[in-house]
Chain A
């Protein structure tokens, strides 16, 4: 099973980015093989609108079935839900901390967006 994290860095020690749609990168961690890959999300940093929607599609395309993020808006949440991706919110400082929280079952699955959308 693969799990996605929002980050601005390239490894597990990198900070967890609290934004979803405009997170610079996604770290996709494979829990079965304990390996990860980093997916660039820079194309969405300057998107005029729909960054959350596009980011959710990118995460779905990565094969992740869960995502651990700081915040998630309503449109991104709708796309993630449609793609069957479970959303977990955290205020962990780094990807490694967030991964530990996930593994130890400290995170509960989010049932709705936790912030307002930025567009309308």
Chain B
């Protein structure tokens, strides 16, 4: 079972839910930090780095002696990473998504791939938890290829929890695609609802089953509950607005260990997700 933890709005508690959920399972579990612009699961999952590798994407290099300036490469590239001006196409590696299409459409076979580094992956072992973390380099604005690389490290037959990036754009799609269930973490505020609605539209288009976790109950109002009732979206569990949770988070502690009274909520969240995926 692959469970993605996502949210429209940032700062609602995705990482808190992901790391504590992983910690509450007890048996072997994979945790994938797909928030590759600023991965932070490792602050809570302390273990030994077992593996580290760099990640690159294939960007084009043109053999100008073979190029006849036909312009097919530039017309094909939707990201405008290659501009065909005469027989010396210009390449913008930082714009390239590494699809390799320009090389395929070149009639003169003048385009080859070269590796362009975008970041690193680390695998950290911490008891039953295997944390795989992707991190793109400073200045790189190309999260989806890194997220796909992180997911390629996933081993079959072991349940996986994915900590997705916030928002609803390409990196989120790259993270949650292929999941069996999406846990959407939100808070009962106008911002929380606004962004949840956009996230719900997105996940529905991907046709992945999902449910909502309401965090910081007690702030705001009942608008999330009203929305979920109208839309027939299950509210999986709720967490109160407890200052101690924030304090433990700020120290890099797992809530399930330092505030054990909350462990059962994570356990029931896992159980509800499990039962939804295995009816």
Question: Could you list which residues of chain A lie within 8 angstroms of chain B, going by C-beta atoms?
Answer: 47-51, 53-54, 56-57, 60, 75, 78-79, 82-83, 119-120
A-B contact pairs, 6 of them (CB 8 A): A49-B80, A53-B80, A57-B84, A75-B95, A82-B83, A82-B88
* Given contact pairs A49-B95, A53-B92, A75-B92, A60 touches B80 in the complex (Cβ within 8 A): no
- Can you name the residue of chain B whose Cβ is closest to the Cβ of A85? B85
Residue B66 lies at the interface, judged by CB distance under 8 Å to chain A: no
Q: Within 8 Å CB of B94, what residues of A?
A: 119-120
Contact check, A53 vs B83: say whether CB atoms are below 8 A apart: yes
Which DSSP category, helix, strand, loop or mixed, fits chain B's interface? loop
Contact check, B80 vs A47: say whether CB atoms are below 8 A apart: yes
- Can you name the residue of chain A whose Cβ is closest to the Cβ of B141? A120
- List residues of B (66-115) whose CB comes within 8 Å of A's CBs: 74, 79-81, 83-86, 88, 90, 92, 94-95
Residue B139 lies at the interface, judged by CB distance under 8 Å to chain A: yes
Contact check, A120 vs B81: say whether CB atoms are below 8 A apart: no
Given contacts A75-B95, A119-B95, A120-B94, 7 further A-B contacts (CB under 8 A): A48-B79, A49-B95, A50-B80, A54-B83, A60-B85, A82-B85, A83-B86
What number of A-B contacts does a CB cutoff of 8 Å give?
44
Contact check, B79 vs A79: say whether CB atoms are below 8 A apart: no
Contact check, B85 vs A50: say whether CB atoms are below 8 A apart: no
Contact check, A79 vs B90: say whether CB atoms are below 8 A apart: yes
Contact check, B79 vs A50: say whether CB atoms are below 8 A apart: yes
* Residue from the list B84, B95, B139 in contact with A50, Cβ < 8 A: B95
- List residues of B (132-146) whose CB comes within 8 Å of A's CBs: 139-141
Closest-CB distance, A75 to chain B (whole angstroms):
6
* Given contact pairs A49-B95, A75-B92, A119-B141, A57 touches B85 in the complex (Cβ within 8 A): yes
How far is B79's CA from A120's CA once the two chains are assembled, in angstroms?
14
Closest-CB distance, A96 to chain B (whole angstroms):
30
Q: Within 8 Å CB of A48, what residues of B?
A: 79
Q: Within 8 Å CB of A119, what residues of B?
A: 94-95, 141
Closest-CB distance, A65 to chain B (whole angstroms):
13
How far is B92's CA from A82's CA once the two chains are assembled, in angstroms?
13
How far is B74's CA from A115's CA once the two chains are assembled, in angstroms?
24
How far is B94's CA from A49's CA once the two chains are assembled, in angstroms?
11
Closest-CB distance, B145 to chain A (whole angstroms):
15
